[in-house]
Amino acid sequence: MSEHLMNTYARQPVTFTKGEGAWLWDTEGKRYLDALAGVAVNGLGHAHPRLVAAISEQASRLIHVSNIYGIAEQGKLADKLCAISGMDNVFVCNSGCEANEAAIKLARLYGHNKGVENPEIIVMERAFHGRTLATLSATGNRKAQAGFEPLVSGFIRVPFDDLEAVRQVAQRNKNVVAILLEPIQGEGGINVPRDAAAYLSGLREICDANGWLLMLDEVQSGVARTGTWFAFQHTDVVPDVMTLAKGLGSGVPVGACLARGAAAEVFTYGKHGSTFGGNPLASTAALATLEIIESDGLLAHAEQLGNYIREALATSLQGVAGVSVIRNAGLMIGVELDRPCSGLVKQALEAGLLINVTADKVVRLLPPLIMSESEAQQLVDTLTPLIKKFLA
Ligand SMILES: *Cc1c(COP(=O)(O)O)cnc(C)c1O
């Protein structure tokens, strides 16, 4: 690694040179099964031929023009995103934190427009919303925040999956304008609400009763990862604002903030912007990603494969002391151990498998949507002995 890179990552000792499907090859020619997909980014795996063709054709014609002009590809992307989500409009940006920054600005402006001078947003413990100052302030991780004070004010934190805590804030605080949460927490440990439908509809009711916006951060859970286009679609609830990024562009940086109803009217000329956001190349990558997911039936496949992996791991790890719980929502899969286990990442790497550990104790798997059942079985067969040995 170059000495000229800032030390913001403790990198694994490997560098990849090519990929195909669910597989990556390093500089030595060794092959790895990718069960992380660039942290939920490469849903189509690596070098998907139709994605490569679409972005190659676009790059050869037009990469960037500026949002000062019409961008046909961005318009098509917005139409498609609204059609599959039920939202009304879209601001296209380049990353998850930018999508959340847009949502936070939108909520504040929504508050100011109705006379709330110091608008506040309810956020969750163990949440992750990004690394910019506002999104870091919204993130529920003291370690990530430490040293960056003063943080951005205007966030109120409550426990995840706790409606009563939100009701109590509603009773005593007149400045709240929105709730921002991940329907399934990713970095926080693949935390799935006990009853997602009841939790989200409870939050929806509180928002409606108080005139708040329900804002879902689907940066990790969105774009087919949980077996529906967006995780909220496992319920009857529709949010006012939703943010996307990770899987949206299959690795070409693109994020989006979607809004519906009154929230869709908040941003007007000059209130927000982005130089690169939704340029022809990024928009084409996102549009091709959505079209391939649809035409290849990857929504149903993600749901089925996720359950297959969870069940296979539950069987292979049955009765193993130290395995606390195995949970999933489609292809967001967490194996929680009773102890910190970041060392497993390197052991898996040596065994030719890419995984991740988050929240200290949770082995996190975010396989590409295109992974086959036999590859999934290979993942389980490689990971199981590593976990057993680690816990022995
Ligand atoms: C990764 C992530 C982000 C931040 O996305 P970046 O593109 O790294 O800025 C925000 N929210 C959630 C839920 C994420 O998983």
Q: Is the C-beta atom of 228 inside 6 A of ligand 1? A: no
Q: Is the C-beta atom of 97 inside 6 A of ligand 1? A: yes
Q: Is the C-beta atom of 110 inside 6 A of ligand 1? A: no
Considering the chain, tell me which residue range(s) the CATH 3.40.640.10 domain(s) occupy.
51-295
Using the predicted structure, report yes or no on whether residue 19 has a pLDDT greater than 90. yes
Q: Is the C-beta atom of 249 inside 6 A of ligand 1? A: no
User: Binding site residues, as ranges?
Assistant: 128, 131, 217-220, 274-275
Q: Counting atoms of ligand 1 from 1, which one is nearest the CA of 220?
A: 15
CATH 3.90.1150.10 given to domain 16-47+297-391? yes
Q: Is the C-beta atom of 220 inside 6 A of ligand 1? A: yes
Mean pLDDT on 180-186: 98
> 320: CA distance to ligand 1 center in Å?
33
Using the predicted structure, report yes or no on whether residue 321 has a pLDDT greater than 90. yes
Q: Is the C-beta atom of 257 inside 6 A of ligand 1? A: no
- Express as a percent the part of the chain with pLDDT over 70: 100
Considering the chain, tell me which residue range(s) the CATH 3.90.1150.10 domain(s) occupy.
16-47+297-391
Mean pLDDT on 154-182: 98
Q: Token pair for residue 134?
A: 């506002």
Using the predicted structure, report yes or no on whether residue 229 has a pLDDT greater than 90. yes
Q: Is the C-beta atom of 127 inside 6 A of ligand 1? A: no
Pocket perturbation via mutation, ligand 1, pick of 246, 254, 364 by most ligand atoms within 8 A of CB? 246
Q: Burial of 201 by CB count in 10 Å (0-12 exposed, 13-18 middle, 19+ buried)?
A: middle
Using the predicted structure, report yes or no on whether residue 265 has a pLDDT greater than 90. yes
Identify which of 386, 392, 359 has the alpha carbon closest to the alpha carbon of residue 188.
Answer: 359
> 10: CA distance to ligand 1 center in Å?
18
> CATH for 51-295?
3.40.640.10
Mean pLDDT (the chain) is 98
pLDDT in tens, 197-215: 999 999 999 999 999 999 9
Q: Token pair for residue 94?
A: 């380049």
> 131: CA distance to ligand 1 center in Å?
8
pLDDT in tens, 111-166: 999 999 999 999 999 999 999 999 999 999 999 999 999 999 999 999 999 999 99
**Residue environment code for 258-269, b if the CB has 16+ CB neighbours within 10 A, otherwise e:** bbbeebbebbee
pLDDT range class, residue 8, cuts 50, 70, 90: very high
- Express as a percent the part of the chain with pLDDT over 90: 99
Q: Counting atoms of ligand 1 from 1, which one is nearest the CA of 94?
A: 7
Q: Is the C-beta atom of 186 inside 6 A of ligand 1? A: yes
Using the predicted structure, report yes or no on whether residue 27 has a pLDDT greater than 90. yes
Using the predicted structure, report yes or no on whether residue 5 has a pLDDT greater than 90. yes
The pLDDT of residue 1? 78
Mean pLDDT on 305-330: 98
Q: Is the C-beta atom of 182 inside 6 A of ligand 1? A: yes
The pLDDT of residue 264? 98
The pLDDT of residue 193? 98
Q: Is the C-beta atom of 379 inside 6 A of ligand 1? A: no
The pLDDT of residue 36? 98
Other beta carbons within 10 angstroms of residue 358's beta carbon come to: 19
The pLDDT of residue 39? 98
Q: Counting atoms of ligand 1 from 1, which one is nearest the CA of 246?
A: 7
> 318: CA distance to ligand 1 center in Å?
33
- For the question of whether the overall pTM of this predicted structure is more than 0.85, the answer is yes
- Ligand 1, atom 10, lies closest to the CA of 129
> 354: CA distance to ligand 1 center in Å?
20
